[in-house]
Amino acid sequence: MITLGIDPGFARCGYGFIESKNSVYKIVDCGLIETFQNEEYNRRLKKIFDELNDLIIKYKPDNAAIEELFFSKNTKTALKVAEARGIIILALTINNIDFMEYKPKEVKSQITGNGNANKNAVIKMINLFTGSKIIQDDTADAVAIALAHASRNRILLWNLILLIT
């Protein structure tokens, strides 16, 4: 089964495709869709859609998970992220991919056992569970979202076992 995780953004949209087989998780692909300030606004949204749509067609995920939008002090940025998120949801919907939404604390709790974990703890656990070496934040967030969704309760159980032993 392949799960797509998305960390929505307007300038940097992280994505991660996780393959799960018999409780073993492997990163199939991950990276960023980047847009730049010197590009026209509508072209930036189209780039997010086109690149994500191409990735969906290439990897054919069975399901997806996307980070919920949280409000920030910068309303202008929040609105752009919300619009990018709409484009992302459109790409998932037209490709008939069911998705769930997760709050950042839910993902951190699922991956590390601590909803207030820092980025380094999340990255460490991703690398542990997938045998990879992810370093970049936006990509790691997307992979964490995919991993949390693909594993749901399994990783939390593993964390408890690790704490006990």
User: Is 19 an active-site residue?
Assistant: no
3-state secondary structure of 115: coil
DSSP string computed for 125-165 = HHHHHH------HHHHHHHHHHHHHHHTHHHHHHHHHHHH-
Residue 48 corresponds to which amino acid? I
Catalytic one of 39, 50, 51, 67: 67
Catalytic one of 19, 51, 138, 141: 138
Report how far residue 133's alpha carbon sits from residue 147's, in angstroms, rounded to the nearest whole number: 15
Phi then psi dihedrals of residue 9, to 5 deg: -160, 160
User: Is 7 an active-site residue?
Assistant: yes
Report how far residue 126's alpha carbon sits from residue 44's, in angstroms, rounded to the nearest whole number: 30
- Radius of gyration (C-alpha) of the chain in whole angstroms: 15
User: Is 54 an active-site residue?
Assistant: no
Catalytic one of 7, 19, 51, 141: 7
Catalytic residues: 7, 67, 138
